[in-house]
Structure 1
Amino acid sequence: MSIERSYKGSCFCGAVEFTVSGEPAAMGYCHCESCRHWSAGPVNAFTLWKPEAVQVTRGADNIGTYNKSPQSYRKWCKTCGGHIFTEHPGMGLIDVYAAVIPDLAYSPGVHVHYQETVLRIKDGFPKLKDVPKELGGSGISVDE
């Protein structure tokens, strides 16, 4: 019998706390304009989890939501504005930003929406035009 690992995370000020349990479905980098704009950075480091693996343990009433599109429900702390995660209903996954899970050994394996990149990263990982086929994308690779 294996023991399921869990990791604690929080927003910037700690008003919202959560745990993620088990292992992420995927980890990687998103280069889409929406993620870049939302994160205020040239690339967003993501960890994708099944919804049942993500549990808000404190401050649920302090979480704000914005959805620019039906594909992404972005969540943040109403106190500090710290970004926490994005629900992706069409994929059936939640992107918990890698930076808010300090004890998780981040191990990326893919770059998504790489055709929109503003920061070329030559790391040998697959670079996809959008997202993998199994998540509703084309699965088409683009040059590093």
Structure 2
Amino acid sequence: MSAKEELKEVGAPPEDKSTLSKPPLEVNESDPEEELFRLKPSEEVQIHKAGEPGDWARSPLTVSCLCKKVQYASTGSPPVFSGYCHCRDCRSSCNVPLCAFVVFKPGALELKKGEGTVKTYKVRPTRSNVFCGECGQQMFTKDKEGFECIPLALCLDEAGNLPKRLKPQGHQFYPQRVIGTWLEDKLVKYVDLPQIFGGTGNFCYLDADDKSPSPCWDMI
């Protein structure tokens, strides 16, 4: 066994690493679950099926803080992304090794309860944290473009489960991750951001010939 083959067997990255952007692996068209998560870097990523915006109007997402004094609800618009972010800004502002969140377009969240209690802290010129002034619970973060990111931990149902419509789609800023060599969750790994957020939409790949978004090796 050559040295390169030995490294590959024990899990070390191959020498020829790449972050080339290619179409994601084809999905099973007959699987309704697959239809939810079909991703194309040239299109806006949506986590709902065609025609589902009405479901969000009838059943908006509502989140509350720990003390229940602050409550926000979506205004009927479906979110544009659900997943994980590994960027340094998210990790430092949320005090976690990676952030799990659902993203809504600017202005899609409405304060239902807690006027005078809700507070905003400007982490830096490009990012603000919105939280409860009583219990300190972070409600969402807002980026420089106004996109509102709610922690998925706030979106669990009464049984402690994440609703299927919020199932994570992918990872942002995957090269900045601090957990593990790679995560074999079969979710797309973005080098930076999806195009809808102003990113390149490029994916990380195992090597230059691999067309599967996951698992991947990338340049760190």
Alignment of 1:1-144 (within 5 A): 2=54, 4=57, 5-20=59-74, 21-90=76-145, 92-103=146-157, 105=163, 106-120=166-180, 121-143=183-205, 144=216
TM-score (structure 2 length as normaliser): 0.59
Structure 2: gaps (5+ residues) = 1-50, 206-215
Residue identity opposite 2:124 in structure 1? S
Cα distance in 2 for partners of 1:134, 1:18 equals: 24
- Secondary structure, counterpart of 2:175 in structure 1: helix
Structure showing the higher strand proportion among its residues: 1
The percent of aligned pairs where both chains have the same amino acid is: 29
Q: How many residue pairs end up in the alignment?
A: 143
Q: Contact (CA 8 Å) 1:31, 1:113: kept in 2 or not?
A: yes
TM-score (structure 1 length as normaliser): 0.86
Sort the Cα spacing of 1:71 and 1:124 in 2 relative to 1 into closer, same or farther, 3 A.
same
Cα distance in 2 for partners of 1:60, 1:36 equals: 28
Sort the Cα spacing of 1:29 and 1:119 in 2 relative to 1 into closer, same or farther, 3 A.
same
- Greater Rg by CA: 2
